[in-house]
Structures are given as C-alpha cells and as structure tokens.
Amino acid sequence: MKKFMVKWEVTSFNINDDEIKRYVDLPEEAENLETLLDDLEEGKHEGYYTPEVHLDGIEEGDIIIEYVVIYEGSKPSYDHNEVWRDPDFKD
C-alpha cells in the first residue's frame, strides 16, 4: 500500500448563508493513485469520509466536502510531491 495525504475542502454556511471554506490534510492509503481517486469519489457520496470532524467551529447544517489536492507520502511537501489536483482548485 502507498501512503498519500489528501487535502479536503470543507464548505459550510453561516447564519447569513455566507460560504465559508476551510481545509484539512488527512492521510490515506491505497494501492495506487487511481484506486485512491475511485475510493474517495465513492466514499464521499456514501458518507464514508468526514473531514469536517477534524475542524473546529463547523456548525451542523449544509456541509460540502471535496478532495482538492493529493500528495504522495505521509507528509505533504507542498512544492514537490503533489500527484493530483482538482482543476478548479486555486490556492
């Protein structure tokens, strides 16, 4: 199994319905990148992944989660081991 670090974007909404985006990096393991992407997509829709529980101040209500960047290895080295990026994600 290979080790990866997944950057999750967690979008929530405050009382004024303003969109609030926060990010958390969480470790994952998979045979390869393709398998990880399949697992993330399927698990996201089935509620298997809950990155919001790792962030303080997320209130109950509508929450949208998206995986936006995947790094190879157990610790992200932000300038050289990125292996996948959502084309819509700008940091």
> DSSP for 46-61?
HT---GGGGSTTPPSS
Structural domain includes residue 91:
no
- Supply φ then ψ for residue 34, to 5 degrees: -60, -45
Q: What is the count of structural domains for the chain?
A: 1
CB 8 within 8 A of CB 26: yes
Q: Among all chains, which residue has been given the structure tokens 């962030």? A: 55
Structural domain includes residue 90:
no
Structural domain includes residue 31:
yes
Q: What is the pLDDT along the chain (91 residues), one digit of tens a residue?
A: 999 999 999 999 887 888 999 999 999 999 999 999 999 999 988 989 999 999 987 766 789 999 999 999 877 665 568 999 999 998 7
Structural domain includes residue 11:
yes
Domain housing 56: 2-85
CB 21 within 8 A of CB 68: no
CB 33 within 8 A of CB 84: yes
Structural domain includes residue 79:
yes
